[in-house]
């Protein structure tokens, strides 16, 4: 069983390396946001798997917190790239949203 | 000899790892932003669901399985939502999808279509 957890952890680490390469090399800012979001999802899986690999399933609490923070961070980064400001779209000459 | 639940748990965790690897390679190699969203969606949904359900089968009926179910619910609610919001933000910003027959070489795509 430990071998299965170790293999899955290694696969996720390799995939995190690929995702980090895309987030550095991505031509547009949306590629970078997508790569960072995917990196966060893989971090959640990695924390859960490491908890089982080291025999301490309490790490699942950290994974839960990280899953929520990852979603909020993605939405905030997208809003910041669109409006240049986290406060939103009060500006009159900004683009139409819909 | 391992029980059938344990074997099913191994199979699900290992196949989830395979999907995670496929999504990572696709995120690195696909030519366009919208196709890269497709590759990242494989990782965010199928890979993470298979790994988390495999861990739940390994855990049994405990508090850890309940935490894994909550994690599964959060990923199920937020991953497709953030993918959709990202694609819509990129499209409204004016990022055009790559079109044409040969998607692997973006310099030869005909813009007159």
Query: Tens of pLDDT along B11-43?
Result: 999 999 999 999 999 988 888 888 889 888 888
For residue B15, the model assigns a pLDDT of 94
Query: Does B60 reside within a domain?
Result: yes
Domain count for chain B: 1
Question: What global pTM score does this model have?
Answer: 0.81
Query: Does B26 reside within a domain?
Result: yes
Q: CA nearest B27: which of A49, A8, A36, A75?
A: A36
Task: Give the closest-approach CA distance of B84 to chain A in angstroms.
Answer: 11
**ipTM of the complex model:** 0.81
For residue A98, the model assigns a pLDDT of 41
Query: Does B12 reside within a domain?
Result: yes
> Shortest CB distance from A12 goes to which of B17, B68, B79?
B17
Each residue's pLDDT expressed in tens, for chain A with a length of 98 residues = 788 999 999 999 999 999 999 999 878 888 888 898 899 989 999 999 999 988 887 888 999 999 888 888 888 887 777 766 666 555 545 554 44
Query: Does B9 reside within a domain?
Result: yes
Task: Using alpha carbons, list the distances in angstroms from residue A23 to A27, A88, B100.
Answer: 9, 25, 26
**Hey, are the CB atoms on A41 and B23 less than 8 Å from each other?**
no
Residue B112 clears pLDDT 60, i.e. is over it: no
Task: Give the closest-approach CA distance of A4 to chain B in angstroms.
Answer: 6
Query: Does B102 reside within a domain?
Result: no
Burial of A95 (0-12, 13-18, 19+ CB in 10 A): exposed
- Closest chain A residue by Cα to residue B34: A31
Bigger pLDDT: A41 vs B108: A41
Range of the domain at B13: 4-92
Task: Give the closest-approach CA distance of A31 to chain B in angstroms.
Answer: 6
Query: Does B112 reside within a domain?
Result: no
Mutation for B interface: A11, A44, A55, most B CBs within 10 A: A11
Residue B104 clears pLDDT 70, i.e. is over it: no
């Amino acid at each position: 069983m430990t071998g299965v957890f170790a293999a899955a952890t290694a696969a996720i680490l390799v995939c995190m390396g690929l995702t980090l390469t895309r987030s550095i090399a991505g031509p547009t800012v949306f590629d970078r946001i997508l790569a960072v979001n995917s990196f966060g999802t893989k971090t959640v899986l990695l924390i859960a798997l490491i908890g089982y690999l080291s025999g301490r399933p309490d790490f699942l609490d950290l994974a839960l917190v990280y899953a929520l923070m990852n979603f909020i961070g993605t939405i905030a980064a997208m809003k910041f790239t669109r409006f240049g400001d986290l406060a939103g779209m009060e500006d009159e000459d900004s683009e139409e949203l819909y | 000899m391992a029980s059938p639940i344990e074997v099913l748990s191994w199979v699900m965790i290992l196949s989830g790892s395979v999907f995670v690897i496929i999504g990572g390679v696709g995120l690195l190699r696909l030519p366009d932003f919208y196709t890269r969203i497709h590759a990242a969606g494989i990782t965010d949904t199928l890979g993470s669901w298979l790994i988390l359900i495999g861990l739940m089968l390994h855990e049994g009926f405990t508090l850890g399985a309940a935490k894994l179910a909550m994690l599964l619910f959060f990923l199920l609610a937020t991953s497709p939502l953030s993918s959709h919001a990202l694609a819509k933000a990129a499209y409204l910003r004016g990022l055009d999808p790559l079109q044409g027959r040969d998607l692997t070489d973006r310099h030869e795509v005909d813009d007159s279509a």
